[in-house]
């Protein structure tokens, strides 16, 4: 399977993602770094990756599809999970 867009085109009724790792970031994420440094985060409207994801979910749900995500966590929360 290719891109996230491909995935949203393929599934018909529902998609489920189980997240079990404490962090799912690559080498750097500017928003996460801003959070860790106590800086103000950009609004979602100025974060292209978030806008892309929200558009895909909105289109899927408008088509009658359901998208589920569960993230298992341990305490204390990691800085990423607090973010």
- The full DSSP string for 31-49 is HHHHHHTTPPPPPGGG-HH
The whole-number pLDDT of residue 26 equals 64
The whole-number pLDDT of residue 59 equals 92
Tens of pLDDT, residue by residue over 56-73, are 999 999 999 999 989 999
- Is the Cα dihedral 71, 76, 80, 83 positive or negative? positive
pLDDT at residue 1 tops 60: no
Single pTM value for the model: 0.69
Tens of pLDDT, residue by residue over 4-55, are 778 888 889 998 889 888 887 665 778 888 888 999 988 888 888 788 888 9
């Amino acid at each position: 399977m290719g891109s996230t867009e491909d995935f949203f085109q393929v599934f018909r009724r529902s998609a489920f993602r189980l997240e079990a790792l404490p962090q799912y970031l690559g080498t750097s994420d500017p928003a996460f770094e801003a959070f860790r440094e106590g800086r103000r985060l950009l609004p979602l409207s100025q974060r292209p990756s978030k806008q892309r994801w929200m558009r895909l979910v909105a289109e899927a749900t408008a088509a009658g599809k359901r998208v589920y995500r569960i993230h298992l966590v341990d305490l204390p929360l990691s800085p990423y999970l607090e973010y």
